[in-house]
Structure 1
């Protein structure tokens, strides 16, 4: 049994017609903002987002297509900016991974179940942004010990998160 839901033939034909009629126009509108390659991807994603809806109820297809596409572009730019800031250390890496309060609570529970030796190294690395050599120096342990404890901490997280 498959989780894939078959699309109603009428809806598929309607989506196909909408795509044939406006995909070129939408791609041209997006190229100036994101470039040709990304524009093609955004056009495809836009039509995928519209697939579940009753397309015959759309009164202004161009407006809807452009709004969905621009929202996709905006969301992707936000994700990229957040990731870039996290990579530069401007925000902690866990903000991107556990943005929702439920995710933060779950992460906290996972950290509390971790043995203290592993948790200390993990927190210093992932939340405080310290490098492995800095952690080794601060705790008076070898770099190999830091690496081993970090590997055990990540292994613990993955086991707790069922990854």
Structure 2
């Protein structure tokens, strides 16, 4: 344990004691569920602890709120991905439906792919989506985006690599 760790733990403990009730109430109002609010409040303080930085005294609530908002967005995004997958499953014949374990693994993979695509530059992500979901050829994408076909190829390689790395299970 480094010399800074006990000081950080003490600062986070103080931050928690002063603001946890407020943060959890704020999250409860946003989410409408005390259990989810408690989980996200916990995750917020965990993020502060992992970052190794606590906010300046006058910025504690805005700092905590910013982290919590990101977590709320992540939660909402996860729900959208799960809902879309479950809707697709509902359209399948029951005999072909995956097991609960397979469904959980698929949702986890979809979430990793979603995060990988979200981390790409907007132009790269757009090219990938036009190719994979709209079915456009590289030439059509290049014309629509006003870029060279070689740039489309480069962007597709970058997006493909990001997707491959997101699904690489040899961590």
Partner of 2:40: 42
Mind listing any 5+ residue stretches in structure 1 that lack a counterpart? 108-156
CA offset at residue 86 of structure 1? 2.1
CA offset at residue 89 of structure 1? 2.1
Mapped to 2, the partners of 1:97 and 1:9 lie a distance apart of 34
CA offset at residue 30 of structure 1? 1.1
> Pick from 32, 55, 58: which aligns with 2:29?
32
Give the TM-score taking structure 2 as reference length.
0.51
Mapped to 2, the partners of 1:80 and 1:54 lie a distance apart of 30
**RMSD (Å), alpha carbons:** 3.3
Partner of 1:18: 15
Q: Mapping of 1:118-157 within 5 angstroms?
A: none
Mapped to 1, the partners of 2:55 and 2:70 lie a distance apart of 22
| 1:14–1:56 Cα contact (<8 Å) kept | no
Give the TM-score taking structure 1 as reference length.
0.54
Mind listing any 5+ residue stretches in structure 2 that lack a counterpart? 90-105, 117-158
Q: Mapping of 1:55-134 within 5 angstroms?
A: 55=54, 57=56, 59-89=58-88, 96-99=111-114, 100=116, 101=159, 102-105=161-164
Mapped to 1, the partners of 2:3 and 2:43 lie a distance apart of 18
> SS of the counterpart of 1:54?
coil
CA offset at residue 82 of structure 1? 1.4
| 2:55–2:63 Cα contact (<8 Å) kept | no
| 1:46–1:69 Cα contact (<8 Å) kept | yes
Mapped to 1, the partners of 2:3 and 2:35 lie a distance apart of 29
Divergent runs of 4+, >3 A: 4-7, 56-59, 92-100, 103-107, 160-163
The structure with more helix, counted as a fraction of residues: 2
Mapped to 2, the partners of 1:98 and 1:42 lie a distance apart of 22
